Amino acid sequence: MVNSQFQLYLAPFQGITDAVYRTSLARWFGGVNAVFTPYISGTGVEKVSKNKLVDVMPLANQGVRTIPQMLSKDAGEMLLLGKALADLGYTEANWNLGCPFPRVANKKRGSGLLPFPEMVRAILETLFNSDFPLQLSVKMRTGYFDHSEVFEMLETLQQFPITEITMHPRTGKQLYSGDASESAFADAEALTQLPLVWNGDIFTVSKWHHLSLKFPRVDRWMIGRGALMNPALPLAIADYDAYCQIDNIKALAAFLNDIYQVTYARNEGRSVVVSRMKAVWVYLCHSFSDPVNAFRLIRKTRTPDDYLDAERRVLNEFELVRL
Ligand SMILES: Cc1cc2nc3c(=O)[nH]c(=O)nc-3n(C[C@H](O)[C@H](O)[C@H](O)COP(=O)(O)O)c2cc1C
Specify the residue with its C-alpha closest to ligand 1, atom 8: 38
Q: Which residues contact 15 (CB under 8 A, 6 or more apart)?
A: 38, 279
Which atom of ligand 1 lies nearest, measured to the CA of 200?
25
Nearest to 222 by CA among 63, 36, 62, 98: 36
Look at phi and psi of residue 34 and say left if phi exceeds 0, alpha if psi is from -120 to 50, else beta: beta
| Residues 173 and 42 occupy one common structural domain | yes
Q: Does 187 fall in a domain?
A: yes
Q: Does 323 fall in a domain?
A: no
Any atom of ligand 1 within 6 Å of the Cβ of 13 = yes
Any atom of ligand 1 within 6 Å of the Cβ of 314 = no
CA of 99 to the centre of ligand 1 (A): 8
| Residues 240 and 251 occupy one common structural domain | no
Any atom of ligand 1 within 6 Å of the Cβ of 139 = yes
| Residues 46 and 84 occupy one common structural domain | yes
Q: Does 2 fall in a domain?
A: no
Phi, psi of 84, deg, nearest 5: -60, -40
| Residues 150 and 266 occupy one common structural domain | no
Query: In whole angstroms, what is the distance from residue 137 CA to residue 83 CA?
Result: 16
**Contact assessment for residue 142 and residue 149, using Cβ atoms and an 8 Å cutoff:** yes
DSSP 260: H
| Residues 32 and 112 occupy one common structural domain | yes
| Residues 222 and 270 occupy one common structural domain | no
Any atom of ligand 1 within 6 Å of the Cβ of 96 = yes
Query: In whole angstroms, what is the distance from residue 11 CA to residue 166 CA?
Result: 10
| Residues 176 and 58 occupy one common structural domain | yes
- Cα 245 to Cα 6, 66, 239, 255, 259: the distances in Å are 21, 26, 10, 17, 24
| Residues 116 and 222 occupy one common structural domain | yes
Q: Does 128 fall in a domain?
A: yes
H or E segment to which residue 135 belongs = strand 135-143
Any atom of ligand 1 within 6 Å of the Cβ of 110 = no
| Residues 212 and 252 occupy one common structural domain | no
Any atom of ligand 1 within 6 Å of the Cβ of 138 = no
Any atom of ligand 1 within 6 Å of the Cβ of 207 = no
Last residue of a domain, which of 218, 244, 270?
Answer: 244
- Cα 318 to Cα 289, 294, 313: the distances in Å are 7, 7, 8
Which of 8, 10, 13, when mutated, tests ligand 1's pocket best, judged by the most ligand atoms within 8 Å of its CB? 13
CA of 136 to the centre of ligand 1 (A): 19
Last residue of a domain, which of 244, 270, 288?
Answer: 244
| Residues 170 and 240 occupy one common structural domain | yes
Q: Identify the three-state secondary structure at position 8.
A: strand
| Residues 165 and 20 occupy one common structural domain | yes
Any atom of ligand 1 within 6 Å of the Cβ of 283 = no
| Residues 200 and 262 occupy one common structural domain | no
CA of 184 to the centre of ligand 1 (A): 19
Q: Domain count of the chain?
A: 2
Any atom of ligand 1 within 6 Å of the Cβ of 199 = yes
* pLDDT (tens place) for every residue of the chain, 323 residues total: 556 699 999 999 999 999 999 999 999 999 999 999 999 999 999 999 999 999 999 999 999 999 999 999 999 999 999 999 999 999 999 999 999 999 999 999 999 999 999 999 999 999 999 999 999 999 999 999 999 999 999 999 999 999 999 999 999 999 999 999 999 999 999 999 999 999 999 999 999 999 999 999 999 999 999 999 999 999 999 999 999 999 999 999 999 999 999 999 998 888 899 999 999 999 999 999 999 999 999 999 999 999 999 999 999 999 999 99
- For position 77, which CATH number holds? 3.20.20.70
**Contact assessment for residue 50 and residue 44, using Cβ atoms and an 8 Å cutoff:** no
**Contact assessment for residue 240 and residue 205, using Cβ atoms and an 8 Å cutoff:** yes
Looking at residue 269, its pLDDT comes to 80
Which of 8, 9, 10, 14, when mutated, tests ligand 1's pocket best, judged by the most ligand atoms within 8 Å of its CB? 14
Task: Identify residue 63 by its one-letter amino acid code.
Answer: G
- Whether pTM exceeds 0.85: yes
Q: Identify the three-state secondary structure at position 217.
A: coil
Q: Which structural domain range is residue 15 located in?
A: 7-244
Interhelix angle 182-191/149-157, rounded to 10 degrees, is 40
Q: Does 1 fall in a domain?
A: no
Last residue of a domain, which of 244, 268, 299?
Answer: 244
CB atoms within 10 A of CB 127: 19
Specify the residue with its C-alpha closest to ligand 1, atom 20: 224
CA of 100 to the centre of ligand 1 (A): 9
